[in-house]
Amino acid sequence: MEWVRSLNRAIDYIEDHLLEDLTCEEIAAHIYISNFHFQRCFSLLTGMTMGEYIRNRRLSLAGQKLVSSDAINKRQAITPAATRYEVFFTTPSPCTHWRRFCTHSHILRSDRL
C-alpha cells in the first residue's frame, strides 16, 4: 500500500512539473526512494515507463490545446502545440504530428480532418 501512496505522490509531482525537464532521479528523490526502485515500481504499477507516462500526458495536453484552438486549419496549429508541450517526434512534419495526435488522443478521434 505504501508503494501506491508513493506512486500517487510521484504522479502529483509529475503533473505539477509536467512542462519542465523532469528526470527519474529528481522524482525519486522527491518521494524518498532510490531511482532504481522508483523506475521498477512505476513500471510495474502503471504498465509503462515514467518517460512514456510523461510523453503521453504531454501529448494529451497538446491534443486538448489543438482541439480547443481557433485555427481555421488545425494542421497548421500542430507544430506550435507540439512545441509548447515539448512533444517532438523523429520527423518534424506537421502531418506526422497530426497522425501521432490522432492515434494517441481519444479527444481527437472525433475531430479528424
Could you tell me the residue range of the domain that residue 86 belongs to? Answer: 54-109
- pLDDT tens digits, one per residue of 25-80: 999 999 999 999 999 999 999 999 999 899 888 888 877 777 776 655 555 566 66
Identity at 42, one-letter amino acid code = F
pLDDT of residue 15: 94
Question: 60 and 101 share a domain?
Answer: yes
Q: Nearest CA to 64 among 100, 107, 102?
A: 107
Hey, which bits of the chain come out as E strands? none
Same domain, 22 and 68: no
Q: In the chain, how many H helices and how many E strands? A: 7, 0
109 pLDDT band, cuts 50/70/90, is very low
What is the model's pLDDT at position 64?
78
Closest CA to 97 of 2, 86, 36, 30: 86
Could you tell me the three cell numbers for 85?
A: 508541450
Same domain? 18 vs 41: yes
For position 113, what pLDDT does the model report?
43
Q: How many domains does the chain have?
A: 2
Please indicate, yes or no, whether residues 43 and 60 belong to a single structural domain of this protein.
no
More confident residue, 99 or 89: 99
